[in-house]
Structure 1
């Protein structure tokens, strides 16, 4: 499959993740976030196990060298998922999607702080621009004149989720040094399922057969989307695929409009455009630096 095939797989995964979020949002009045996390994680596991078995990676998916690393990955990831699902019940889908774009920007900052990655002025400027876009999206929700406490809490939940998602990415970068990708995918689903059960005493509810079916579908689609996403990176470089993450705002606007009667405000659209521009600038710059490094390697000595 060509890089175009990788791009197609990435777009399909983004589309499926948006459907998943829409299903979670549609049931947010019926079940608490912890219960939604359980459905999302538990019903993704059969899909992931079947995928690993077909690839012949099931044995490596069950073998780990750093079990505590997977536990911490689960704690961070399930917390991020819970806060994100809670926000879906408080804010329009496009707004949650746009604010969620803070996660990759924060990953750049955390990588510099926690991993010692070099934070160049160009990249730092682009991150700052992206944060301006996030501020544009959230500003109307925090205005004193139009303050809606539930919406303001939704904004806070999305931002907390973004911070945790960024930390999860940093943790994954550490895990890949010793762990197989298949193991990281499998054990995250398993630990997320187990940790979500800890919220059971806080009031789970039977949502009814229709809503339960939607939650099961959300888990299934989440698993399929994860497989498409992982497979996409086998056919195209991360720098090529990264900009297509922003297709999620287009899908979120469509689903929000047709299924939830949500019309994105001008500030959401403007802020999203600013964040997307910042993200694409970072990807473009890193690709240019990668090309320069690749050109320099042939002329380097073995000690260089």
Structure 2
């Protein structure tokens, strides 16, 4: 085995990605609170700024160097997509309950599974298709149980549209995440994604920017820290496993959304939720078993 490389368990990228998704779910709840107070645009603009401040010292301390042109172009592209998907998602999130918004967003992994075949040249394994369909079925069961309980207002319909737009952008984001992770370290990925997202959002700052209060800034800073750690975890995982293996893990976000809804907003955990969770977990278990026997890692967090 070449120096500087070592073997790791094939399920390790799966577990790391699951941890990243869990932190992203907590971040969603924090950012929803901030977005309700200052709007989705300002929450995202200041989160990007805090993210750069957090990641820049870490990137430099780990020997970070300015990326080459191919990597820089990919960072810029993913930053643009990230700015659009996150702002539209949080705009929709303030108009919908957390669990419903995340349920709707789960069309993204299903789209991304097939984008992986077209854009990355990955061969879609039968088990990956079954895993994604099971996960998506779980989301449908939960979403149908929740969304079917009350009529939707016009504001909620606009919120649904924004979340669906975000989901389409997120599908592309997941694919570029795999490409980006193969070109750059997790620290570089997190820094430049948030940096470029902030630059694109700042173009509208003269018309839309409002400085939040100190308590809200604290919430946004917390969201930035959670997003930074999540991005690094997901980047590490996507550099070591195929997108089709990791995509079903996205569905576990609903488990965390239901739990946060119950703990923070006193939302009951319904039978539909439990049934959906079972399908999601089975799908993720199938995906984990389809992981390659081993991967070789060259960088660590």
Are 2:20 and 1:30 equivalent residues in the alignment? no
Measured after TM superposition, the shift of residue 98 of structure 1 is: 3.6
For residues 59-74 of structure 1, the aligned pairs below 5 Å read: 59=65, 62-66=66-70, 67-74=72-79
Are 2:90 and 1:85 equivalent residues in the alignment? yes
Measured after TM superposition, the shift of residue 151 of structure 1 is: 2.9
Cα offsets for 1:106-146 (capped at 9, x unmatched):
22111123333223444334433433333334446776972
Structure 1 equivalent of residue 299 of structure 2: none
Are residues 196 and 147 of structure 1, via their aligned partners in 2, closer, same or farther at CA, if it must alter by over 3 Å? same
Task: Mark the runs of 5 or more structure 2 residues left unpaired by the alignment.
Answer: 1-5, 296-301
Contact 1:133–1:275 at 8 Å: present in 2 too?
yes
Question: TM-score w.r.t. structure 2 length?
Answer: 0.76
Cα offsets for 1:239-263 (capped at 9, x unmatched):
9987776654443333322323333
Are residues 214 and 77 of structure 1, via their aligned partners in 2, closer, same or farther at CA, if it must alter by over 3 Å? same
Structure 1 equivalent of residue 217 of structure 2: 212
1:270 to 275, 284, 294: 275
Using the TM superposition, name which of 244-253 and 93-102 deviates more. 244-253
Are 2:54 and 1:47 equivalent residues in the alignment? yes
Structure 1 or 2, whichever has the larger Rg, is 1
Query: Aligned with 2:92: secondary structure?
Result: helix
Measured after TM superposition, the shift of residue 221 of structure 1 is: 2.9
Distance in 1 (alpha carbons) for counterparts of 2:40 and 2:163: 13
Using the TM superposition, name which of 272-281 and 212-221 deviates more. 272-281
Contact 1:31–1:204 at 8 Å: present in 2 too?
no
Distance in 1 (alpha carbons) for counterparts of 2:77 and 2:146: 33
For residues 1-304 of structure 1, the aligned pairs below 5 Å read: 13-56=20-63, 58-59=64-65, 62-66=66-70, 67-139=72-144, 146-176=151-181, 178-179=183-184, 181-200=186-205, 203-230=208-235, 248-284=253-289, 286-287=290-291, 290-291=292-293
Cα offsets for 1:137-196 (capped at 9, x unmatched):
444677697233333333333332222122112223344555555443322111011112
Measured after TM superposition, the shift of residue 11 of structure 1 is: 6.2
Using the TM superposition, name which of 123-132 and 3-12 deviates more. 3-12
Task: Mark the runs of 5 or more structure 1 residues left unpaired by the alignment.
Answer: 295-304
Structure 2 equivalent of residue 301 of structure 1: none
Distance in 2 (alpha carbons) for counterparts of 1:228 and 1:117: 22
Contact 2:103–2:140 at 8 Å: present in 1 too?
no
Q: Once superposed, what is the RMSD of the aligned Cα atoms?
A: 3.7
Distance in 1 (alpha carbons) for counterparts of 2:127 and 2:213: 52
Are residues 144 and 185 of structure 1, via their aligned partners in 2, closer, same or farther at CA, if it must alter by over 3 Å? closer
Distance in 1 (alpha carbons) for counterparts of 2:255 and 2:134: 21
Are residues 281 and 151 of structure 1, via their aligned partners in 2, closer, same or farther at CA, if it must alter by over 3 Å? farther
Question: TM-score w.r.t. structure 1 length?
Answer: 0.75
Contact 1:102–1:130 at 8 Å: present in 2 too?
no
Distance in 1 (alpha carbons) for counterparts of 2:147 and 2:266: 23
Measured after TM superposition, the shift of residue 19 of structure 1 is: 2.9
Measured after TM superposition, the shift of residue 43 of structure 1 is: 0.5
